[in-house]
């Protein structure tokens, strides 16, 4: 009978512990609260005892709440546990041995979490919980992504976590440091050194091929195409012998390049035309301007859809494909897959969104100053698209379809100026709103300086080409 009692209790302790473990993981904060209350009621000896027996059975470090159950059960007493000798050995042992700090750096993989990574290094659930708790407002640890690093140190032989750092990137990390019974969180942000760099290239094939050959990073080339995209069609207008140059920011940290900043200024010689653009920040944000202060951005984008080909041109005297009669085609047809997004060509207000006989589903936008655009044969409209809705340039307003009189999916696009239909492909697009006068006064001397910095860096051939074009 006497032999049976400890076994029974071991079983009981096991069941209770398993239950409490579940409670702890399911409701960590409430479990911790309980723990604080309980800690007052139990004697330190009992805690030690329960820790010992639990470690012996190869379980994770204990939630101290389990010792309450042990304490409440009068049949489990310290003296009745056969491991008492080992406990005494431990208590009598000399003060803590020298500890060592074990350092680790782990790259986050898909599906990793703080607890997954740390439990691989036998960090206790309690320590993991405390770190998460220090981050519960910001949730940086929950948002860690594959490729980022966790750097941490573990004190041995106790196995306690001393500090842990989530390295988000070279400039940003989140640091957690143990202090007493919790972890303190700190964000570490470094600022890179910024320097100006100049590059130029001659085009033999394309902006991208020759730009990359000139060791210009692709994102800068994309940005360049965006800056000049209002004036140059990079698919159609580029000629062999075109040149471009740019002055941009490079970011470095501890003497090593870590990335690019903004393009400060750029020039493009295209097919006998010269364009210059300067980055300038106003209250409305940063934009690119000509040296005279006109926005590079136009009030309209040339084509409101990513199309595969122009299936029918603007033609005031064409034969209609369905009616076989002379009917002017007052817009351009852009063939595109059904469902392709259609964008607002410019800022404005929707004056019509619905069905009209031949047009099928159609959107008409008033842009002010006499400008109006029309988008027809749509499969459907973007959410909230109705009369009176304000739209911004580039907003998706609808989707390509073939409603109304259409032989295949395409966007029929019209561009009207004071009620007169213009060819959307060739119409001169108005510039964006000009810079306010007060702003212009500050801008002009700045622009002059930047252009001087840019042209002073030009190679001899570049300067020659530029000079030839100016004559």
Please report, as ranges, the residues that interact with Zn ion according to CB under 5 A: 333, 412
To Zn ion, the closest distance from the beta carbon of 329 in angstroms equals 6
To Zn ion, the closest distance from the beta carbon of 331 in angstroms equals 5
Q: 242 vs 333, which CB is nearer to Zn ion?
A: 333
Q: 333 vs 347, which CB is nearer to Zn ion?
A: 333
Q: 178 vs 421, which CB is nearer to Zn ion?
A: 421
d(C-alpha 445, C-alpha 263), whole Å? 18
Q: 130 vs 320, which CB is nearer to Zn ion?
A: 320
d(C-alpha 214, C-alpha 202), whole Å? 9
Question: 315 has which bridge partners?
Answer: 329
Q: 297 vs 412, which CB is nearer to Zn ion?
A: 412
Evaluate whether 345 touches 300 at the Cβ level (below 8 Å): yes
To Zn ion, the closest distance from the beta carbon of 364 in angstroms equals 15
To Zn ion, the closest distance from the beta carbon of 230 in angstroms equals 25
d(C-alpha 254, C-alpha 262), whole Å? 20
To Zn ion, the closest distance from the beta carbon of 413 in angstroms equals 8
To Zn ion, the closest distance from the beta carbon of 443 in angstroms equals 42
To Zn ion, the closest distance from the beta carbon of 403 in angstroms equals 13
Q: Whose CB is nearest to Zn ion? A: 412
Q: 185 vs 412, which CB is nearer to Zn ion?
A: 412
Evaluate whether 317 touches 327 at the Cβ level (below 8 Å): no
Q: 412 vs 465, which CB is nearer to Zn ion?
A: 412
To Zn ion, the closest distance from the beta carbon of 417 in angstroms equals 18
Q: 335 vs 466, which CB is nearer to Zn ion?
A: 335
């Amino acid at each position: 009978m006497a032999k049976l009692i400890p076994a029974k209790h071991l079983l009981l302790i096991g069941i209770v512990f398993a239950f409490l473990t579940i409670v702890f993981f399911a409701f960590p904060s409430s479990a911790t609260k309980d723990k604080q209350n309980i800690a007052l009621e139990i004697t330190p000896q009992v805690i030690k005892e329960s820790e010992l027996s639990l470690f012996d059975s190869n379980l994770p470090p204990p939630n101290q709440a389990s010792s309450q159950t042990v304490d409440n059960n009068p049949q489990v007493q310290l003296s009745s546990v056969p491991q008492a000798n080992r406990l005494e050995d431990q208590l009598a042992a000399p003060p803590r041995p020298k500890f060592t700090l074990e350092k680790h750096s782990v790259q986050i993989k898909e599906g990793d979490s703080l607890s997954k990574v740390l439990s691989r290094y036998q960090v206790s659930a309690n320590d993991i919980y405390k770190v998460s708790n220090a981050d519960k407002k910001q949730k940086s640890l929950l948002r860690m992504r594959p490729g980022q690093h966790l750097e941490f140190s573990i004190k041995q032989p106790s196995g306690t976590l001393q500090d842990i750092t989530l390295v988000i990137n070279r400039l940003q990390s989140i640091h957690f440091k143990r202090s007493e019974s919790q972890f303190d969180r700190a964000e570490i942000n470094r600022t890179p050194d910024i320097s100006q760099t100049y590059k130029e290239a001659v085009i033999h094939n394309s902006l991208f091929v020759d730009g990359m050959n000139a060791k210009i990073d692709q994102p800068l080339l994309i940005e360049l195409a965006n800056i000049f995209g209002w004036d140059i069609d990079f698919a159609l207008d580029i000629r062999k012998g075109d040149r471009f140059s740019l002055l941009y920011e490079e970011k470095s940290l501890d003497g090593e390049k870590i990335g690019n900043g903004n393009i400060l200024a750029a020039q493009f010689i295209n097919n006998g035309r010269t364009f210059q653009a300067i980055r300038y920040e106003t209250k409305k944000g940063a934009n690119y301007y000509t040296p005279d202060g006109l926005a590079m951005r136009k009030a309209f984008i040339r084509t409101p859809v990513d199309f595969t080909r122009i299936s029918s041109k603007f033609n005031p005297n064409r034969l209609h494909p369905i009616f076989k009669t002379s009917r002017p085609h007052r817009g351009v047809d852009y063939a595109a897959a059904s469902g392709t997004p259609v964008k607002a060509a410019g800022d404005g207000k929707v004056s019509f969104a619905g069905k009209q006989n031949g047009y099928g589903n159609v959107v008409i936008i008033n842009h002010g100053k006499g400008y109006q655009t029309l988008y027809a044969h749509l499969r459907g409209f973007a959410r909230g698209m109705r009369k009176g809705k304000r739209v911004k340039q580039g907003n998706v307003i609808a989707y390509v379809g073939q409603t109304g009189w259409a032989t295949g999916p395409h966007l029929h696009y019209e561009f009207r100026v004071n009620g007169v239909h213009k060819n959307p492909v060739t119409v001169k697009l108005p510039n964006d709103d000009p810079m306010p006068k007060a702003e212009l006064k500050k801008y002009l001397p700045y622009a002059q300086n930047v252009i001087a910095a840019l042209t002073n860096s030009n190679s001899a051939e570049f300067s020659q080409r530029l000079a030839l074009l100016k004559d």
